[in-house]
Structure formats: structure tokens, C-alpha cells
Amino acid sequence: MHTKTISQLSAALRSGEVSSVELTTLFLERIKQHNPALNCFITVTEAQALAAAAAADQRLKAGNAAPLTGVPIAHKDIFCTEGVKTTCASKMLDNFIAPYESTCTAKFRDAGAVMLGKTNMDEFAMGSSNETSYYGAVKNPWDQARVPGGSSGGSVSAVAARLAPAATGTDTGGSIRQPAALCGLTGLKPTYGRVSRFGMIAFASSLDQAGPVTYSAEDAALMMNVMAGFDGRDSTSVERDVPDYSADLNNGIEGLKIGLPKEYFGEGLDDSIARVIDAAVKEYEALGAVVKEISLPNTGLAVPTYYVVAPAECSTNLSRFDGVRFGHRCDDPQDLFDLYTRSRGEGFGAEVKRRIMIGTYVLSAGYYDAYYLKAQKIRRLISEDFRAAFEEVDVIMGPTAPSTAFKLGEKADDPVSMYLSDIYTIAVNMAGLPAASIPAGFADGLPVGLQVIGNYFDESRLLNVAHKYQQATDWHLQVPKEFQ
């Protein structure tokens, strides 16, 4: 039962083959057994989960259940959950019990999904390896000496180890897609504005977007049917109808035009990854798709530009943590300045401080035009590359990450090398486009992800394209040995 997709679990709950309390108990047991080694949960909400499961069973019995009613899921600890500790994996929020619920988690709660707990992550979502968490690194279930990727590392590790059948994540520069690739899962970053950011602790507001982490595209569609939609409480939420993401899954993809950006297959890409991606593209050709080489000439500028825009926005957003109203306060402050600087100096970890410093520097007097304004202009050039490409092709494909999961500690002391592990994912956030990572095979026993990028609001097509591949292959159903 623990290796079933949420589509299968939803059916099993409906037919009465299993109850939500039984399912929830099963996953809570698995968390107890495996979390000490993997460290994917910061908080396990056992009592609330069992109560929610009992309520879901009532609702199933009464015949007014939604598709996810009774299905256990995990939430990244970046979403505020009322009455439950919400830390963003930071010492700053170690004592923070959220006084309200994020829109995203509220929608899952109202749909009857059962929250198992809050997952570990890079501190304030800043990281690509899940090593910056105040609560310690998360391990990759495929090889526990390796990172799961980040920043949604806890969500992805939990789902990959079958400690939860699905989870939420957030993606500012690749934080859903890169860990999904490194752990062999399906991860979707929706179009900017598609999922509400209300109650999702902000990192870089013009880039942040929540999305699902699942085994299959079919499951991701079920999650998106709950998550997506306009929210008046998020000023950047998009007022646009939400389609039924499950409706187009089985559409044929004969004649689908796939663009392969030559910049995604050059220097820096491991040969073993390139071979897996080539094989996946061949599979698509066998399914009737047409492949064409394209160019995204400003690809190389995405990472440099991101490391201006994201730290600038982070330094602004994180100025709210001042030790006055909530969060960590230093002992015995001498004056207000001492209170601010020591509370923040003690509350934030090294990577967060680094990014606040960069952001403050690029926004400081005399530098704004040279850095932030320049970055916003290059951001437009990056977006124009995609706009031109989508006049020729329906979707863009390439690797999600340049290598498989790296060893814990391998890049921890070299921020720039760590930043470059998001080289293929960051441009998508800069442009605000939707993109998925789907399991496409293995290199030296470690999962490899295929990235599929779509045009604005084309999530249905992305899921359709992913689903057709998953009907023809079984990479997405592979389970690490220890967790079968």
C-alpha cells in the first residue's frame, strides 16, 4: 500500500479497500521507522493527522469526498499551518507557531487531505542540497551519503522513501525540479501566479511559486486541481480560470514539437546525464513527437542575474525578522540596535546571511542601477528567448540538473559551485514559466530527471506530455531498495 500513487490510494479509499486512518497510521509508522536516518521531517503532526483521517473517513462514508479526501500528504515547512510549528528550517522561527493558515495548505485541508507533518528544507529555501537547514541535512534515499537536492529536499526525500505518497514544495530557482530529479520523482513548478503565495514564507517574491512533488504526472494533476487558483490575498495571484488538470492527460502527442536548446547540452553537462536525456528524447520521437534544435542564447546569464534578483528580494523580505514581534530574540539586548543585529546574527544561518549581505550590497546607494536594474533588464532578455522559442515549438526539453546527486559536504564550502547546480532550472523562474522534472532513467544507480518547460499557463500540456512518457516507461515507479 505504501508504494501506491495517490490516484490509486484515492480509488482504494473510495472502494473501502482501506480507510484513511489505516493509511495515515501506515505512513506515520514508516516516518517513525525511517525519519531518524533520512531527517526529512521537522515536525510530525501525528495527533492532528489521525483526527483529520477519522474526519475524512466520515466524509468518505457520507459520500461527499473530494479526490484527495483521506489521502495523507506532507507539506514543506515554508507554509504557515495554524497552530503548528512553522520554522522555514531556521533558528529564527524555531519558536514560531503559525497564527494562520496558508491558502495552499488550507485548500488541501478543505479537500480532506491529511497532513502528516512539515518537511525539512534549506533554511528559508536558500540552497540546492538541503544542507543549510538549522535542523540538519536531509539524506537521499537512493544513497544516504548523498544530498537529496534542495531546497524542497525534505518533501522529496519523504516521497522518494515512500514516507508520504505526495508532498508540496516551492521553487524559486529550481527547488522543486532539482531535488525531484535527484531523487527520481515528478515535480512541477507552475506558472508564476498560478498557486497562491499567501502564507508561504517569502524568499524572492517575484520568483517564488509552490507546486507538487509526486510519483507520477497523473498524481501531480490531482494535486494541481487542489492547489491552483486565484487568491485575493496574494497581490500577484493571477485571475484566470483553472482547468481540470486531469482532463488532458491522455491526449495524443503525435506531432508535438519539442525544442532542444543547444545551450543545455554543452559544457558542464555530465556525459552520463546526456545519454539518459538523449534516450528519453528518442522515446518521445517513438511516441510521435518531432524534435528540433533551438537556441536560448542568454542561458548563461540566468545564474548571474538570479544571484542579484533573488538576494535583493530576500534581503528586503527578511528585514521583517527583527526580534521584536515574533521569532528569535537575543538575550539581554543592550539597546535597540543591539537587539536587531544580535537577534538576526544569531537567528540566521550562514547561507541566509550571505544572501542578505549580497542583496543589501546590490541595493545599496550607488549600486542599484549597476546591479538590480541591470539584472531586471537581462531578465527581460532571458524571457524573450523563451517567447521566441515558443513560437517554434510546443515544449522545451533538456536535463533538469547537470549531474546526479552529489555527496553531502561536497559543495558546502563553495557557494558559487553550489549555485551552478541550478544552471538549467533558474531561467524558468526568471521568465515565470511552468516546468516539470520527470524521472528519465539512472546514471551509476542514481536517478536522472528530464526537464520539460512549457509556455505560460500550459501546465495541462506539460502534465499530458509527462503522462504519455510515464505510460510508456516505468522510471517514475522505481523505489529505492531499502524502502520497497
* Helices 46-62 and 20-38: angle between axes, nearest 10 degrees: 150
Q: How far apart are the first and last CA of the chain?
A: 10
| Residues of this chain, 415-434, that bind another protein according to CB under 8 A | 415-416, 419, 430-433
Using left for φ > 0, alpha for ψ between -120 and 50, and beta otherwise, residue 119 falls in beta
Choosing from 76, 107, 118, 139, the catalytic residue is 76
Which helix (H) or strand (E) segment holds residue 362: the answer is: helix 350-363
| Contact with another protein (CB under 8 A) among 325, 445, 474, 481 | 325
> Least distance (Å) from another protein to the CB of residue 459?
15
Please give the C-alpha separations between residue 203 and each of 230, 341, 352, 386, in angstroms, as whole numbers.
21, 20, 10, 24
Given candidates 11, 145, 247, 336, which one binds another protein under the rule CB under 8 A? Answer: 336
Among 97, 145, 290, 477, binds another protein (CB under 8 A): 97
From 55, 262, 361, 442, residue interacting with another protein (rule: CB under 8 A): 361
Establish if 340 lies at the interface with another protein (CB under 8 A).
yes
Tell me: does residue 323 bind another protein (CB under 8 A).
yes
Q: Give least dist CB 416 to another protein, A.
A: 5
Shortest Å distance, C-beta 414 to another protein:
8
Residue with smaller CB distance to another protein, 76 or 344: 344
Q: Does 305 bind another protein (CB under 8 A)?
A: yes
Residues in Cβ contact with 335 at an 8 Å cutoff, skipping those fewer than 6 apart: none
Alpha-carbon distance 314 to 471, whole Å? 40
Residues 241/379, Cβ–Cβ less than 8 Å: no
* Catalytic-role residue among 90, 133, 152, 175: 175
122-151 binders of another protein (CB under 8 A)? none
- C-alpha 474/C-alpha 184 separation (Å) is 11
Whole-number Å distance between alpha carbons of 411 and 183: 18
Going by C-alpha positions, the residue among 258, 302, 300, 256 that lies closest to residue 278 is 258
Closest CA to 184 of 465, 450, 428: 450
Residue 109 CB: number of other CB atoms within 10 A? Answer: 18
Is the CB of residue 307 less than 8 Å from the CB of residue 358? yes
Amino acid identity, position 330: C
Given 19, 102, 151, 437, which residue is catalytic? 151
Among 344, 411, 461, 467, binds another protein (CB under 8 A): 344
79 lies in the binding site for another protein (CB under 8 A): no
CB of 223 to another protein, least distance (A): 22
Q: Least distance in Å: CB of 166 to another protein?
A: 26
The DSSP output letter for 369 is: I
CB of 191 to another protein, least distance (A): 8
User: Is 247 a binder of another protein (CB under 8 A)?
Assistant: no
Stretch of 21-29, 42-50, 232-240, 278-286 lying at the interface with another protein (CB under 8 A): 232-240
Closest CA to 200 of 164, 165, 176: 176
One-letter amino acid identity for 92?
M
Task: Print the binding letters for residues 366-385 with another protein: x by CB under 8 A, - otherwise.
Answer: ----xx-xxxxxxxxx-x--
Residue 274 in grid coordinates? 546526456
Closer CB to another protein, 281 or 462, in the complex: 462
**CA 25, chain centre distance (Å):** 26
CB of 121 to another protein, least distance (A): 21
Cα 342 to the center of its chain, rounded Å: 32
Which span (24-32, 270-278, 288-296, 355-363) binds another protein, by CB under 8 A? Answer: 355-363
How many residues at the interface with another protein, by CB under 8 A?
Answer: 70
As measured in angstroms, the least distance from the Cβ of 177 to another protein is: 16
403 an active-site residue?
no
Decide if 364 is catalytic: no
The C-alpha atoms of residue 376 and residue 373 are separated, in whole angstroms, by 5
Q: Which of 255, 334, 444, 481 binds another protein (CB under 8 A)?
A: 334
Per CB under 8 A, does 335 bind another protein?
yes
In angstroms, what is the minimal distance from the CB of 161 to another protein?
A: 33
Strand-strand pairing, 395-399 and 210-214: unpaired
- In this structure, how many other beta carbons lie within 10 angstroms of the beta carbon of residue 183? 32
Q: Which of the stretches 3-11, 252-260, 352-360, 476-484 binds another protein when contact is defined by CB under 8 A?
A: 352-360
Please report the DSSP string for 441-476 in residue order.
EEETTEEEEEEEE--TT-HHHHHHHHHHHHHH--GG
Point out the residues that are catalytic.
76, 151, 175
Enumerate binding residues for another protein (CB under 8 A).
96-97, 99, 192-193, 206, 232, 235-236, 238-239, 298, 300-301, 303-305, 307-308, 315, 319, 322-326, 329, 333-342, 344-346, 348, 353-354, 356-358, 360-362, 364, 370-371, 373-381, 383, 415-416, 419, 430-433, 456
